[in-house]
Amino acid sequence: MMFHGPPTIERRNGSGPEIQTTHVIRPLLRLLAPLWVMAAVAIASICIFALANLARPIVIQQAIDDGIIKGDGDAIVVASIWFFALGIVIYVVQAISTYTVTWVGQQVLRNLRMRLFSHYQRLSMSFFDKEHSGRLVARMTADMNALSDVLNSGFLMIVQALLLLLGAIVILFLLSWQLSLVSLAILPPLIIATMIFRVYSERAYDAVRDRIADVMIHMQENFAGMRVVQAFARERQNAEHFDRINEHNYEANLRTVRISSMYIPFIEWLGGAGIGIILYFGAGAVFGVDVSVGTIVAFIFYINFIFQPIQQLSQVYDMMQSGFSALKKIFGLLEIEPEVVEPKTPATLSLPVRGQIDLDDLSFGYSKDIPVIKDVNIEIASGQRLVLVGPTGAGKSTLAKLMMRFYDPTMGRILLDGQDIRQFSFKDLRRSIIMVPQEGFLFSGTIRENILFGRPDATDDEVVAACQSLGVHSFIEALPDGYDTAVSYRGSRLSAGEKQVVSISRAFLADPPVLILDEATSSMDPGTEAIVEGAIRRALEGRTSIVIAHRLSTAEQAQRILVVNDGRVIEDGSHAELVSAGGYYTSLYERWIEHGNAAGG
Amino acid sequence: MDEEQLDLKAGARLLLNELKRQWVSLGLALFAALLWTVARIAIPVLIGITIDEAIDLPGGTDLDLLLWFMLGMLGLAALQGGGASMRRYFAMRTSHRVEADIRMQFYASISRLSFDFYDKTATGQLMSRASTDVHEVQMLTVMIPINFAFLLMAAGSFIVLAFIHVWLALLGLIVYPMVTIITVRFFNKLFPATARVQQGLGELTSVVEENIAGSRLVRSFGREDHEIARARKVADQIYEDNMEVARLRTTYGPLFFLLPTIGQLTILAYGGWLALNGQISAGEFVAFFQLLNMLIWPVQGLGEMIASGQRALTSAARIWNILKEQPTVRQKPNARSMPDGHGEIEFDNVRFSYFPGQPVLRDFSLKVPAGTSIALVGPTASGKSTVAQLLPRFYDIEDGSIKIDGVDIRELNLQELRSNVGLVFEDTFLFSDTIRNNIAYGNMDATEQEVMKAAQLAHAAEFIERIPEGYDTVVGEQGFSLSGGQRQRIAIARAMLKETRVLILDDATSSVDAHMEEEIRNALRIVMEGRTTVIISHRISTIALADQVVLVDQGRVVDIGSHADLLSSNPRYQEVLGQVEARV
């Protein structure tokens, strides 16, 4: 297929997890099992379709030989009735097969899509860290489409082509085996030419796909980055560059045509040659066998039944191959088990949650040999406000993620109100502890919908109340459509700071007993940040909170500060204590003062 | 661009002009189509003649004549093959040439347009025109020669058959135009349905992308079931739309078979009766049958082309709507080159708005002596970034003037002006190219040493050298993914390498951490030497680099002074920098 449709700027994806061919059949059959009635109807209708088509030339043969040549009017009437009946049968079974094949295919696809999507929801964060997101999306898009091609047309074409091909050969031999042998002499060159053509044209089409991808990538980038292009006055050079890419695409397209320009005349000539052979050897009684005029005409029809299926099969071959490899990738992915699993019988979490958290001899690494958290012990009392500071990569965010149970520790444990968090259901745990990440992530929808993500059953008033308590209500109201401003995960016009405002509001609406803020205000402009930080401080009064700070102004007013470095807690105390301790925090503080940050106010 | 006006006539004109330019290639394709048609029609006729003149004889087969006929058949087959091949080659050549030309025109035309166009047009909109719409036009173009052949074939077949027996020809062929009409209707219904399927697949893709990108958030809030329900809704919709397509195919597909069958049945019954009565020969009967069989495909093809032509015209009109756009910022006919100087900037009573009636800058006046630096500070949407966008003349102002070294920028050669203003944007855009080429983006003639020096100054060299392929690493959407801070450092290096009089840093250090910012600041200090620099930032440490601070609020200059002066004297300044907690 040529490249068209919405521009997907993605070249072929890597193979990903794959499994044995034989392991594909069984899950595939399991998917098909509940649909077996329709599947059987589909296959039966395809078979009848092929048989009825194969019968038509025989009817014509009878009409010519028994009717026209012998001059028997009844034979023509009989043949006409047969021809009409076959036409009706073909009409009906074609309708049935078209509908049922699509029905079965679409059922399978819908079920498989939902299975894969639900599976993504079960997998742990470690999986998403390792897997390239583009590849996971490709499983759902490119691979499902490849499968869809097979299910919707590939399968039907293969069965039909095979039945017609084999049926035609059998009938030819029954009509006249001598003539069959001679006329089928065109088959070997046809098959060989088709195979050679496939190889070269596949290569040429691969090149076209790469070239058109180049064109699309270049355009996408230049249209998106046109401001930079013009800022650097690069319009002319880029246009020259694009001209080259565009011409390469044109050349690649012409190459595919040149290849088919050699194949097509050969095939068409072979078709003509086949008819010539049939006429000459059939009618010429070369073998001493008298072949009737009707038989010759039937032969000409049957030769067509052989020509088309062979070309179709070669087309479907590639489709089947990519469909099969797509299936392998999809099932391979479905076999991966989540690393963080919910307990089968979760412990009950006694309400209200007090929010006492203990990290007990905690160690963890994203990969086995590189520890990120090294034997950390922290006790966080219920209602305590804790600030984590430390250099980038020290492990602050990792500690937060472990508390959320995005990962399980390699050693040690985390207790919430005295119980290991691994004993709770995900629902209970994640209702109790919520983390606001640095990146303010927005789902497509409105601002209101994004805030409601925190607690879907909240009323509009509660949404407004949550935003008011954060001091961002007037800020959101000032956006073009206020709370109904449309946003999306990509291409949203909100700034990073504005996204963070929505992201914190979302967590405030959810109102969890324990709140973790991971540099959650870092991108706001200083004016807004000062407002939000003040509001957060007041709102978190009496609630357990862990704030990962990017600025020392945040730390200044905390009850307790932990300095994290290289996976360990190296300092622990209040701001005043740590400033006078003469350690890491002290030097951090001094450098900050030096740049005049504490001035004013 | 909602509710776009489509000028189909302009679309048709665009298409015809393109075809006119390819007339040689198109003409050859049409000539080849003619040869192909002649052979296609001649073969069934020859079969009929062979049966009558050489086979179905009272005295048995005439072998000599049969051999001649067979050689004739091979000759016709060769003509058919050659014609098909030549027709296809020139048809594809024409259509891909048209495709490449339109795409190039489209690209060049977009490159000329000004920033206001990009503000109102989404990249996706442009891409869908450059891919789907251009593809539609190509599809129509490639179909022209074969459909020309199909028309000839239908007309030729009718003439040949009418010579044999007029009534049989009429009765046998009467259903065929119906096939064409039904095909047009089928494709006109099918196309919106398949477009809905495509749209559904697109939606599913964004749901999955979003879900994976937000997987942490989904888990944080325990919203897995909600996400599954969201995906199910889209998956169900895709299923429904696909079944709608299936229903259309089920309704129409078998008709394309049944109608020709009725024609063939006429030949079989009426033709058979005529043959019995000796009004037509057995060979003529066979020729009739073969020709009718051969026409099934062409009559469908014609319908498909008519439907495709309707879509292609719409597509061409959509492309035309972009091609006709004119840039709002235009260079004067006899623009002058840059005056001598070192980058003195003067804004004099500038008024500007992105949308009429909503001025962003009003009476904005500011003078920056050559070689000095200023920092623009102000709340969000105060107009600071707009100032940065006006200096390289990305937009034209409504009133007042902007001068560089004493000359109004509207008098200057646009390319020269932009080459003399360096800009580091708030959101860093890198191209899918090597790091080296990205750094050298504004100065292609830069040497390897110059690129590396710029990278070192911007503190980019340290991480670039740690990546396995170093400066040859391909970055951008398709390539190696860099952190925000890394991208920003490359963008700074890129601006450093460009020898400019004026340098604008629009929130250029916003995504690097405090420690890194300190180091980049030192680099900036070096680069700023001798260049007029405009800094836009919220970071006090970055602001402190500038000689003067300008407080901008609601599109006006409110106060000018050193950072320390403003901080101690101006409460609004303190508020903007978050040094006091503002009233809610």
Tokens (6 digits) for A149: 């091609």
Low-confidence residues in chain B, pLDDT < 70: 1-3, 426-427, 477-480, 509-516, 519, 579-584
Nearest alpha carbon to residue B422 among B520, B497, B503: B503
| The pairing of beta strand B421-424 with beta strand B373-377 | unpaired
B78 and A265 in contact by Cβ < 8 A? yes
Best mutation target among B136, B431, B437 (most A Cβ atoms within 10 Å) is B431
* Residue A341: partners with Cβ closer than 8 Å, 6 or more residues away: none
Per-residue confidence at A469, pLDDT binned at 50, 70, 90?
confident
Reported residue count of chain A is: 601
Cβ atoms within 10 A of the Cβ of A351, count? Answer: 11
CB A141, CB B201: distance < 8 Å: yes
- Pair B564, B558: CB distance under 8 Å: no
Mutation test of the interface with chain A: which of B215, B337, B506, choosing the one with the most A Cβ atoms within 10 A?
A: B215
Q: What are phi and psi of A40, to 5 degrees?
A: -65, -45
pLDDT band per the 50, 70, 90 thresholds, residue A389: confident
Q: Who has greater pLDDT, B128 or A130?
A: B128
ipTM computed for the complex: 0.85
d(CA B115, CA B364): 21
pLDDT at B488: 80
Q: Is the pTM of this model over 0.90?
A: no
Give the Cβ contact number of residue A160 at 10 Å.
Answer: 19
| b/e B40-66 (16+ beta carbons within 10 angstroms → b) | bbbbbbbbbbbbbebbbeeeebbeeeb
The pLDDT of residue B477:
63
**A525 contact residues in B (CB cutoff 8 A):** 379-380, 538, 578
Is B249 near chain A, with CB under 8 Å? Answer: yes
B contacts of A430 (beta carbons < 8 Å):
219-222
Question: Mean pLDDT, to the nearest integer, of A320-326?
Answer: 85
Instruction: Note the pLDDT tens digit of each residue in A418-448.
Output: 888 898 888 888 888 888 888 778 888 888 9
Element (H, E) at B294: helix B282-323
> CA of B492: how far to CAs of A11, A309, B441, B469, B502, in Å?
30, 61, 12, 21, 14
pLDDT score recorded for residue B427: 67
Selected residues 254-273 of chain B with any CB under 8 Å from a CB in chain A: 254-255, 257-258, 261-262, 264-265, 268-269, 272-273
pLDDT digits (tens, 9 = 90+) for A567-598: 888 888 888 888 888 888 888 888 777 665 54
Q: Give residues with Cβ within 8 angstroms of A508, minimum separation 6.
A: A454, A466, A467, A469, A470, A539
Q: Which residue has the tokens 């190296």?
A: A570
Sign of CA dihedral A158, A164, A167, A173: negative
What pLDDT, on the 0 to 100 scale, is given for residue A7? 35
Measured in angstroms, the CA of A224 and the nearest CA of chain B are apart by 6
| Highest mean pLDDT, choosing among A38-52, A127-141, A479-493 | A38-52
Contact A485, A447 (CB under 8 A): yes
Residue A330: pLDDT above 80? Answer: yes
Residue whose pair of structure tokens reads 């299926």 in the numeric block = A309
Task: pLDDT band for A8, please (50, 70, 90 cuts).
Answer: very low
Does A251 contact chain B (CB < 8 Å)? no
Smallest Cα distance from B80 to chain A, Å: 7
Name chain B contacts of A534, Cβ cutoff 8 Å: 581
Q: Say yes or no for a CB contact (<8 Å) between B204 and A109.
A: no
A144 → chain B, closest CA residue: B201
pLDDT above 60 (res A286)? no
Is the CB of A189 inside 8 Å of chain B's CB atoms?
A: no
Per-residue DSSP letter, A367: B
Q: Which residue has the higher pLDDT, A338 or A95?
A: A95
Taking the C-alpha atoms of residue B523 and residue B516, their distance in angstroms, rounded to an integer, is 11
d(CA A97, CA A104): 10
Q: Which of B74, B213, B289 sits opposite A273 (nearest CB)?
A: B74
Q: Do B413 and B338 touch, CB atoms closer than 8 A?
A: yes
How far are the Cα atoms of A136, B445, B538, B552 from residue B543, in angstroms, in the given order? 43, 33, 7, 14
Residue of A98, A114, A596 with shortest CB distance to B246 = A98
| Six-digit token string for B321 | 């709507």
Q: Do A272 and B80 touch (CB under 8 A)?
A: yes
CB contact under 8 A, B253 and A531: no
Please check the confidence at residue A13 and state whether its pLDDT lies above 70.
Answer: no
Residue B192 at interface with chain A, using a CB cutoff of 8 Å? no
10 Å CB burial of residue A541 (0-12, 13-18, 19+) is exposed
Chain B residues with CB-CB distance to A79 below 8 A: 268, 272
Cα distance between residue A95 and residue A49, in whole Å? 10
pLDDT per position as a tens digit, A522-546: 777 777 788 888 888 888 887 888 9
Q: Residue B351 has which token pair?
A: 């008024």
pLDDT of residue B1: 43
Distance (Å) of CA A539 to CA A384, B55, B542 = 13, 102, 32
Instruction: Tell me what the pLDDT averaged over chain A comes to.
Output: 84
Find chain A residues with C-beta within 8 A of B60's C-beta: 285
User: pLDDT tier at A161 (50, 70, 90 boundaries)?
Assistant: very high
Of A68, A227, A531, the CB nearest to B275: A68
Which carries the bigger pLDDT value, residue A522 or residue A484?
A484
**What's the rounded Cα separation, in Å, for the pair A178 and A200?**
35
Q: Are A268 and B262 a contacting pair at CB < 8 A?
A: no
Q: How far B349 CA lies from chain A's nearest CA (Å)? A: 24
Partners of A564 in the β-ladder: A569
* Strand (E) or helix (H) holding B368: strand B359-368
Share of chain A above pLDDT 90, in %: 19
Q: How far apart are CA B146 and CA B314, in angstroms?
A: 22
Between residues 530 and 569 of chain A, which touch chain B (CB distance below 8 Å)? Answer: 530-531, 534-535, 550-551
Residue of A69, A299, A181 whose CA lies nearest to B55: A69
pLDDT at B513: 64
Tokens of B489: 């450092």
Residue A113: which pLDDT band, with cuts at 50, 70 and 90?
A: very high
Test B478 with A4 for CB contact under 8 angstroms: no
DSSP characters over B435-476? HHHHHGGG-TT--HHHHHHHHHHTT-HHHHTTSTTGGG-B-S
Partner-chain contact B204 A141, CB within 8 Å: yes
Distance CA B141, CA A140 (A): 34
